[in-house]
Each structure stands twice: as structure tokens, then as C-alpha cells.
A and B are shown apart, each in its own frame.
Chain A
Amino acid sequence: MTARTDKIDKLAQHTARSDAGVSLAAAAWRRLRRNPVFLLGAAIVVAFVVLALLAPLLAPHDPAEPMLGDQVVRARNEIPPSQPGHPLGGDQVGRDLLSRLLVGAQQTLLVGVLATLIGLAGGLVLGTLAGALSGWVDTVVMRVVDVMLSIPGLLLAVSIGSLFAQPNQYTVILAVAIVQIPVFARLLRGSMLAQRHSDHVLAARALGVRERAIVFRHMLPNSLGPVIVQATLVLAIAIIEAAGLSFLGLGNPDDRLPEWGQMLGQAQNVIDSHPELAFWPAGCIVVVALGFTLVGESLREALDPKSRR
């Protein structure tokens, strides 16, 4: 627990010392453009987002339609191999695997983005409350946040996900989002506290600026840097955790709408004879998560004042 909270606090400190937001962003961008790690991550992310958005147009077949093999083949549990028109072959019930992967990308993007946005929104509210109203509000919020942070993320997500009687893709999103709230909250509170003692907040106080304006015009906008970086990293985490929940059967039970984690879960039964059915969705999850992580880490590095000349 302490390792995790320490890491969050360090992140908050790092970017909070930014001396000029706008020039900082410009300088960071200049450095990012030349960073091969960022370029690789960005390429993956862009490719993923484009494929996911265009999936319904790009998918050669209906992902829900069993079209490969016949009753006999399926009864023998044979997997349709790669063939003309179906470069990756079919899945256990004869649906086109490539189409399922493409449409699955869309689901993954939806789940990842929604979970991150909800987590971000919750974290912004709690973090702003704690950072703006120190005292007992801060104490209560941070106690809850620390308790939640002391539970490993995936475990917490699974626990929350299993609370719902009828899991579907939205319960997955909610479960993953709730787990991210304390991370964002603690991060934002940390950088707000650093802002509270900054020169420009003191200067605003010296002008008699009201507390509300101090919080929303001076402290909050200057605290968002580390939160934005974290959001990029959380996208990767959310995708992995959502896949984990689906894999465990806590996701959408309707498998006509494919999702990578769910595909991975269903491939379990045939993993000895047909590992490729597990390989494709797993590979997609890993590559996409890696893409977001590379972008997030290089963003953080670029915004870290210590790495600046």
C-alpha cells in the first residue's frame, strides 16, 4: 500500500512544480516529437483507435454469424482453419476470427475510455474536495481513498464486478472505473496541496481573491498535468482489468458482441489444441496496453521538471 501511495504522491509533486504551464506544454511537445518511445506508443494508439472506430466498416464478416464449417465439423469441436476470405480462420463456433477481433477492439476502446473518464470524474471531484477544503473533509476522503488503494486494483475490480447480479459490459466499466477513482483523487489532492503553497496562489491571496476563485482558477488548472498523464496510463490498466473481468465471466454474457477478454476466456477450453485462439486476443490486449503505457510514461518524462534543461 505505501509503495503505491508513495508513487502517486511523487507523481503529484513532480509535475506540480511546473513553472509555466503553457511553455511547459510546448517544451514537452518538442521533446516528445523526438522521442522514439513516444512515437512507437503513439503509433500503436492511433492504429488501435482508428481500427476500433472503423471496425464495423472494416470487418469483412458479421462477427456474430457462424459461417465456417458445418454442423458435423462443429459437433466434433474442430476449429475452422485459415482459408480464403477468412485469413485467421474461425473460432469454436465458426465465426470469423478477424471480424471478431476488429469489433472487439471497438468494445475494448469503449470500455477503456468510459472507465477512465468515469474514474477521472470521480477522482476530480474527490481530489478537488480534499485539496480545497483541508481539515476533516480532507481527512475523511483520504482515509477512504487509502483503504481502497490498499487493495490490489484487479482484486477490487473483481469484487465490485461480482456484486452485480447480472453482469454486462456496463457493470464492467463501472467496476473498473471505481477502482481508478482513488488513484486520481490522491494524485489531484497532492498536486493541489503543492499549488496551495505556490507563489502565484500567495500573490492571488495578496489581491484578496476569493477562496473559490483561488481553488478553481489558480489551484485546479495548474494541478491537472499529472492527472492527464495518469489518465493515459489508466487507459492501459482499464483495458487489462476489463479484459480480466470478462475473462472471469464477470463481463457481458452475450458473446455475440465480441470483447477481447471474453474471447480469451472462451479460448481456454481449446488452448491445448488451438493456442492461436488465445494468442490473438491476448496479443491485442498486450500491444494496446503497451501502446498507452509508452505514451503515458513518455508524457510523464517530458513533463518532469527534473528532466528539463
Chain B
Amino acid sequence: MALLEVRDLKVEFRRRGEEPVRAVDGVSFDVQPGQTVGLVGESGCGKSVTALTIMGLLPKRGPHVSGSARFDATELLSLSDRQMRDRRGRDLGMVFQDPLSSLNPVVPIGLQVTEVLERHRGMSRRQATVEAADLLDKVGIPDPRRRLDEYPHQLSGGMRQRALIAIALACRPRLLIADEPTTALDVTIQAQILALLANLVRDTETALIMITHDLGVVAGLCDEVNVLYAGRVVERAKRHDLFAIPRHPYTHGLLSSIPRLDAPRGDRLSPITGSVADNIPWTTGCAFAPRCPNALDVCVEVTPEMTDDVGVPDNRSLRCHNPVERAKRDGEALV
């Protein structure tokens, strides 16, 4: 059974005097124990809101949530505030995008680690301090004992993100959600942090939801990938399959807009035209249709459903009337 089952999750922000915003519009996906699942899509497509909903961290007033998010057979969306608080940090962990602002600036790093250990694992301050140094050591922070007394601004960006990962994993959660954990970091540091995450989740058998707008991140890390567009999953596939044969025109567009070292000289990058500003809701037709090179008449009339993709051999799903043909991409015959 899946560790996390998200079904038809919808989140709508309603503000007085404003049009409601559908941030998440029926997202469904599973995470198996120990599995790393990617949530990929351009900014504004609802990735962070999905994560915050699972964590029960949406603001109290404003959002309307429907659907289901079952963690280990417990419906998270119907837990009380207190029950949810007991699970956060212990069963469910989260790492945010900006490591500097995610740390309390006036509290030493050590206290921020021991805070969780005392809270969830009932340790004394002394035990927690020993464990904290151990945790910092595990995430590759040199001289951890001295670091415990330092303040966030005394650490480099990469060290801060390592510290945050240590804090999030301190109570060995079964599911970790990382929301663009490397976006605020230098490129060289990004690779280190991703490698660290990959090793940690493998060693501790933690399931990981990797949220990113960067397919490069997905390529190195994820077992399965969900591509999100305008609050819905439009394509789901194993990592290798997705990169080998992107089926949704949006995924195809994302992949062709990444510069590749192995591309023939003179090949042009083909970015997806338009932007999130052109996004339309999933009411009639496909939300991607206005930006889609493959759009047909049916695409603006009938909203596509998520179905098993029969055009390719592997077990994958797709929400598209006119997917990119495999033949078009690599010249092979259709299966």
C-alpha cells in the first residue's frame, strides 16, 4: 500500500472582493515507502500549495480544501490541529526553498535542532545536544560541535540548507517534502545538496517528494515524476521513460527548452511559448491548449482526463488528446 495517497486534491483561495484562485485543481499521486517522487512544473502551478496542504500548513482563513490526502491509511485533511502538529516533524518533514529565512535568526543552530528532538523524541537537553552534533555531522557539516553555538548568518548558504535537512530528518520522518530545496543555492552547491538528499533518503528509507521547476533536479533523483500544469498532473512516468519519451506536449516543451551538451551544433532551443499569465483554468478544454503546438479542435472543447498511456509500452499516465508521437522524436517506429 502506498505511504501517501493524494486523490483529487483541490485548493481554492477565496478572498472577499476578488476572483477565487484555484491553486490546486484535482491533483492525484501516490508515494510508496522509501520512494522519491518528483512534482515538476513551472512556477505558480500549485506545487507549494500542494505541499503545504499535505503538511497542514495552509493559512487558517482563505483556502478551501477538498479531496483526500491519506498518509499511512490516515486521512490527513480531517486530523485536528493538535494531531497534525504531533505528526509534523515526526512523521512528515519539510525543507523549504530559502535556507536563510527558514532558520530563526536569533537562535543558535544547535537549539533549533534540539528543539525538535526534545519535542518529538522526548530527549533531555543534554542527550539532544549530543544527537544534534551527530546529525550535523551526518549531513556533512564540518566541526559540528562548534557549529551548534553559531547563528544562521554565520553559516554559508549550503551549510544552512544542510542544517535544515538535518533538522527535518532529526526525528526520522517517513516522508520528507523538499520544496525547491536548491533553487536559492549556487549551482555547485546545488549538486552537493541533491547528492546529500539522495544518500540520506536511501540510507534512512525515507520517502521523498521532490518539488522543483527544474527537470535537471528530477533527472538525478526521482524514481517517478509527476508533471503539473495549472494545478493538475498532466503526465506521470518513471524518470527514465519520461526523459526518453516525453508524451505530453508540455513535458516535451520543458525538455526541449533545457540546453543539452550533446545536442548537435546549430540546434536551437525551443522554449514553450507564452507564460503562466496565459494560463486558463481546466473548465472547458485543456488548460495548456492556448500554448500547445499540438492543439486540435477537440482540445479546446473537451477537457482531457488522466488515462493510462496506451501509446507507449510502460505503465504511465497522461492527460492529453494529442500526445507527442514517439516516432516524431527519435525516429523509431510506434509500438
Contact = CB atoms under 8 A, between A and B. Distances in A.
Contacts of A20: 100, 105, 151-153
Contact of B89 (A24, A198, A202, A206): A206
Interface size class of B (residues with CB under 8 A): 20 to 34
A22 B98 CA distance: 18
A199 interface: yes
A208 B90 contact: yes
Would you call the interface of chain A mostly helix, strand, loop, or mixed?
A: helix
B89 A203 contact: no
Interface string A8-46: 000000000011111110000000000000000000000
Contacts of B55: 206
Nearest to A206: B94
B89 A208 contact: yes
A151 B115 CA distance: 44
Contacts of B110: none
Given A217-B107, A218-B104, A208 B85 contact: yes
Interface residues of A, number: 24
22 contacts: A20-B100, A20-B151, A21-B105, A22-B105, A22-B153, A23-B105, A23-B151, A199-B101, A200-B101, A202-B57, A203-B96, A203-B102, A203-B164, A205-B85, A206-B89, A206-B93, A206-B94, A207-B116, A208-B86, A208-B89, A208-B120, A218-B107
A126 B205 CA distance: 47
Interface centre among A20, A208, A221 (most CB of B within 10 A): A208
Interface centre among A199, A203, A209 (most CB of B within 10 A): A203
A202 B164 CA distance: 13
Interface centre among A202, A206, A217, A218 (most CB of B within 10 A): A206
B272 interface: no
B238 interface: no
Interface centre among A198, A199, A210 (most CB of B within 10 A): A199
A199 B99 CA distance: 9
A169 interface: no
B57 A206 contact: yes
Contact of A199 (B86, B102, B154): B102
B93 A200 contact: no
A204 interface: yes
A224 B286 CA distance: 51
B89 A207 contact: yes
Across chains A and B, which 3 residue pairs bring their CB atoms closest together, nearest first?
Answer: A208-B89, A207-B89, A208-B88
B128 interface: no
